[in-house]
Amino acid sequence: DQQVKQNSPSLSVQEGRISILNCDYTNSMFDYFLWYKKYPAEGPTFLISISSIKDKNEDGRFTVFLNKSAKHLSLHIVPSQPGDSAVYFCAAKSRGSTLGRLYFGRGTQLTVWP
């Protein structure tokens, strides 16, 4: 049962344009969301996170938007750069859980071309 879904397995964007990666979740107990970037043969690298008490969080070129009513979040990368080409994973943690396990989506392969 996939509680975090990334329905687009791939996204191709031209350098300098905006990349928008989407994520949906089904568990209303999720209260903390994270985005990770993963290059081949490496572990996931933390990018940005957002708590359910917010609807937006920015860090440089990266912005995450959270729509709780739609159980949807998105990651915006502006401007996109070729070095951003990687697999992006959305992850979520459940409210009230002291255990901290993360639930991941299947990832979206972003390709930024010159």
Partner 1 sequence: DTGVSQNPRHKITKRGQNVTFRCDPISEHNRLYWYRQTLGQGPEFLTYFQNEAQLEKSRLLSDRFSAERPKGSFSTLEIQRTEQGDSAMYLCASSLRGILAGVTYQETQYFGPGTRLLVL
Q: Which residues bind partner 1 (CB under 8 A)?
A: 4, 6, 32, 34, 36, 41-46, 49, 51, 89, 91, 93, 98-107
Nearest distance, CB of residue 55 and partner 1, angstroms:
16
Please spell the DSSP secondary structure of the chain, one letter per residue: --SEE---SEEEEETTS-EEEEEEE--TTEEEEEEEEE-TTS--EEEEEEETT-SEEEETTEEEEEETTTTEEEEEESS--GGG-EEEEEEEEETT-SS---EE---EEEEEE-
Q: What minimum distance in Å lies between the beta carbon of 107 and partner 1?
A: 6
**Least distance (Å) between residue 87 CB and partner 1:** 9
